[in-house]
Amino acid sequence: MCGRFSQAQVAELDREVFKLLEMPALEPRYNVAPTQPAAVVRGTQDGAREMALLRWGLIPHWARDPAMGARLINARAETAESKPSFRDSFRSRRCLVPADGFYEWQKTPHGKQPYYLRRNDGRVLAFAGLWDRWRDPERGPVDTFTILTTEPNDLVRPVHARMPVILPEQAYDRWLNPRAGARDLRALLVPYRADEMDAYPVSTYVNSPRNEGPECVQPQHA
């Protein structure tokens, strides 16, 4: 699964790579947690792209209880196309979730050790995401998202049994293309190349979603 990630560099990401005309003012985030707002890139009705803050944890548009969003922070890539909670979004509401990296917790005899995983060139990556719009009867529309997960690559496997789907830059257009076919989309939902990533242990400071700042991603030394 992917239960925590960072967006510290999102305000500085390459607008040309993501084809964004405008960039909102964003505060760096080192410890994005479920139910919190995070930046995503999605298509607009006029064919452009926008970056917007959406709440992490997808609430299907048909949901009666918005609390279910807290359980839908991830969608399995193998079943998202057919699962009722995600299939409408898979068909027509796909997004990119920019991130510097993500955290996973490895089980050890001494407890769970958090690891930070990222591209080894330090550049911003993008998770494959889905979004939906739920209408609160009192407060109006609420836009939420989920992150697709897949089998781990060789780097992630010793740490965790799942990893987020990380899309290569050349796949961004295909993922956001509203006319993309299901077969083309499924072909993108594979583990990212292990030789283009690195992982290192970090402090348990990151365990609490209340903790923020660069301390979250600093390597932990033995």
Tens digit of each residue's pLDDT, the chain (222 residues): 689 999 998 877 767 788 888 888 889 999 999 999 999 999 988 888 999 999 999 999 999 989 999 999 999 999 999 999 999 999 999 999 999 999 999 999 989 999 999 999 999 999 999 999 999 888 889 999 999 999 999 999 999 999 999 999 999 999 999 999 999 999 999 999 999 999 999 999 999 999 999 999 999 975
CATH architecture of 5-104+120-197: Alpha-Beta Complex (3.90)
Which of 2, 95, 212, 216 is catalytic? The answer is 2
Mark whether 95 is an active-site residue.
Answer: no
The secondary element (H helix, E strand) that includes residue 16 is helix 15-18
Catalytic residue (one of 95, 104, 212, 216)? 104
Closest CA to 62 of 84, 90, 83: 84
What does the alpha-carbon distance between residue 120 and residue 196 come to, in Å, rounded to a whole number? 6
Q: Are 145 and 110 in contact (CB under 8 A)?
A: no
* 108 burial via Cβ count (<10 Å: 0-12, 13-18, 19+): exposed
Domain boundaries, the chain: 5-104+120-197
